[in-house]
Amino acid sequence: MAEAVGLTASIIAIVELSTKIGKLCVQYSTEAGNARAEISRLENRLTDLNACLEAAQRLLDDPKNTALATARSLVDSLNACKRELSEVQDRLDPGSARKAMRRFGLRALKWPFDSKEISTVVSNLEHYKQTITLSLQVDQTTILLDMSQRVQDLSLQEQSTTSVARPPCFNVPFNRDQDFVARPDMTAWLRDKYSSSTGRMALVGMGGFGKSQLAINFAYSIHDEDSNVNVFWVHASSKPRFEEAYRAIAQRMKLPKRDEPSTDILSLVRDWLQNDESGSWLMIVDNADDVNLFYPKGIDERPLASFLPKVQHGAILVTSRSLDVAERLTGSRKNIFQVSSMDEAQGLHLIRNKLTVSFEHDAAVELLQVLDYIPLAITQAAAYINRRSPRESVETYLKSFQESDQKRKSLLEVDLGDLRRDETVSNSVITTWQVTFERIRQEKPSAANFLSFMSLFDHKGIPEFALHYYNGKLKHREDKAAGFEDDLDVLRSYSLVYVTANRDIFELHATVQACTRAWTSSSDKLPQLKSLFIYSMHGATATLGFCDTGGATDGRY
């Protein structure tokens, strides 16, 4: 405030000085006719300076113009201008000038400046005027830019706070499967969870069991019932794919600031989905298998789980091979449906839809049995038969599949594509499950070894006592009982091992057994596991009294 008062006082003082000097110039132009040109130059410069100063004063006096920061820093320049004008006034003062003239016996006034001096004064006054003008221009430009920025900010604020009409989004990247076979129990469960505003639900099961196909069909059914519901598909197999899916949502919904380099796209989409403006929506988070992706151990890593919205007006359907991941993401085991293989009627329906050749009912049932009624295995078998028809049939495929472990492995490795599966993953049954095996080996190597050991048994009856004997032989285990249960829990969470009604007998799917054996044979651990199997069975049967006192055994198990 004091600075503004001082600035105004300086301007007033300069204007008064200029006015006085202007009057003196008029007097001199009458009495000192020989200097009229120089007097005129000074008068013109003073007139320009006064006009500039008066404009500056009007701006500074306006209470709205508090932002004239540059102009308010002109005190030093104005003081210099005032000093120079004071010196000019002193030299032009008629009283002083007449006294000097009388000393020399002269009566008329004589112009006290020579041409060079007046040029210097005029140049200095021009400099002061330009300095003041430039300062005002800088301030006015700043004010205009500030006004422009405020208008832009207001526009963005209105854009972000005002509901923007957007067309509904349906970005499921797969076509509807015309061969889809309904599984009523799962569909009913999904319907119940979706309508009850649970918020999150999950389908958990082995790769190839049809989780994603169920999710695709459910997404289309929701869209058919209400096309105003936004349906988003998010690939969650890796962080880049998760971010790519969120970026696609931001672009599709034209979210503000989505293209700015500094924008955190994950937060932007999450925050928008949590806003009522997003309306009703369903998000499918597909292939959420990696617990470290959603809940990393490093404190510097951002958990992807934190970018999944939590609201009443939206629902999230997770598909996962991992019960652990699904339970963490949904918050409760009650929100998880464990997807199993098909029943016989569903399997026959699927193979009938997929095959382009005729087949015998009994042969088809037998083929379904050896394939464990697993949708991916059925689909790939049908594709293989269709490709090689008429030289290949259900009967010839079944015969080849039962011929040997090597032939079974070869057939399970076939990958003939599927437009309704993620293009970045294999459609081969063995390759699909090897992804799970490798993940287990990374998470808990002992559980992976345990699965390899179990694959050496008959898949329908694996006795717990034999497994405990194997576990007891592992010298690195400090708490062997806890280690057994931990390994078993991991395998069960990935739907690889099942507990029978007897509770002390475990089972594997025959195809899981075949794929595990193929996976194990690629490592150098198979001979060691076979030896351990023999010793375990020998030790277990001897303990139970099935061998003579010498502990001899014929080696057949």
Domain segments of the chain: what residues? 2-161, 184-338, 344-412, 429-543
pLDDT at 109 over 60: yes
Residue 462 buriedness (CB in 10 A; 0-12 / 13-18 / 19+)? buried
Q: Are 375 and 213 in contact (CB under 8 A)?
A: yes
What pLDDT is recorded for position 138?
66
The single-letter DSSP state of residue 163 is: P
347-360 b/e (C-beta count within 10 Å ≥ 16 → b)? bbbbbeebbeeebe
More confident residue, 7 or 318: 318
What pLDDT is recorded for position 159?
53
pLDDT at 334 over 70: yes
Distance of CA 5 to the CA centre of its chain: 55
353: closest CA among 179, 176, 178?
179
More confident residue, 42 or 543: 42
pLDDT confidence of 70, banded at 50, 70, 90?
low
More confident residue, 551 or 460: 460
pLDDT at 161 over 70: no
> pLDDT of 73-93, one tens digit each?
677 777 888 888 888 888 888
Q: What average pLDDT is seen over the chain?
A: 82
What pLDDT is recorded for position 216?
96
> pLDDT of 115-147, one tens digit each?
888 888 888 888 878 887 777 676 666 655 565
pTM: 0.66
User: How far is residue 478 from each of residues 65, 442, 443, 483, measured CA to CA in Å?
Assistant: 79, 20, 19, 8
pLDDT at 555 over 50: no
CA gap 451, 238 in Å, rounded? 26
Q: What is the mean pLDDT of residues 365-378?
A: 94
Q: Are strands 498-499 and 505-507 parallel, antiparallel or unpaired?
A: antiparallel
Percentage of the chain beyond pLDDT 90 is 38
Candidates 3.30.70.2080, 3.40.50.150, 3.40.50.300, 2.160.10.10; CATH matching 184-338: 3.40.50.300
Which of 131-135, 179-183, 472-476, 487-491 is least confident? 472-476
Provide the β-strand partners of residue 234. Answer: 285
Kindly indicate whether the domain formed by 429-543 is annotated with CATH number 1.10.287. Answer: no
Identical fold between 184-338 and 429-543: no
379: closest CA among 355, 402, 357?
355
The enclosing H or E element of 135 equals helix 115-161
What pLDDT is recorded for position 98?
55
Among 11-15, 58-62, 156-160, 179-183, the range with the most confident prediction by mean pLDDT is: 179-183
User: How far is residue 286 from each of residues 19, 213, 214, 316, 363, measured CA to CA in Å?
Assistant: 84, 10, 11, 10, 35
What pLDDT is recorded for position 106?
45
For the chain, give the number of residues: 557
Q: Are 353 and 388 in contact (CB under 8 A)?
A: no
What pLDDT is recorded for position 557?
34
pLDDT at 103 over 70: no
Torsion angle of the four alpha carbons 353, 357, 361, 363, in this order, in degrees rounded to the nearest 10: -110
User: How far is residue 246 from each of residues 250, 273, 274, 309, measured CA to CA in Å?
Assistant: 6, 11, 14, 12
Residue 276 buriedness (CB in 10 A; 0-12 / 13-18 / 19+)? exposed
Q: Are 99 and 107 in contact (CB under 8 A)?
A: no
> pLDDT of 451-475, one tens digit each?
988 888 888 888 888 887 766 665 4
Q: Are 429 and 380 in contact (CB under 8 A)?
A: yes
Joined tokens for residue 106:
């002269």
pLDDT at 107 over 60: no
Which of 131-145, 289-303, 458-472, 503-517 is least confident? 131-145
Among 125-129, 329-333, 441-445, the range with the most confident prediction by mean pLDDT is: 329-333
Joined tokens for residue 361:
């009912």
Q: What is the mean pLDDT of residues 92-109?
A: 59
Provide the β-strand partners of residue 314. Answer: 281
Which of 81-85, 161-165, 322-326, 455-459 is least confident? 161-165
pLDDT confidence of 5, banded at 50, 70, 90?
low
Q: What is the mean pLDDT of residues 307-311?
A: 94
Which of 164-168, 266-270, 316-320, 507-511 is least confident? 164-168
Distance of CA 24 to the CA centre of its chain: 77
What pLDDT is recorded for position 160?
52
Q: What is the mean pLDDT of residues 432-448?
A: 87
Q: Are strands 200-204 and 336-338 parallel, antiparallel or unpaired?
A: parallel
What pLDDT is recorded for position 71?
54
List, in order, residues 6 or more apart from 491 with CB less than 8 Å away: 440, 447, 450, 451, 454, 497
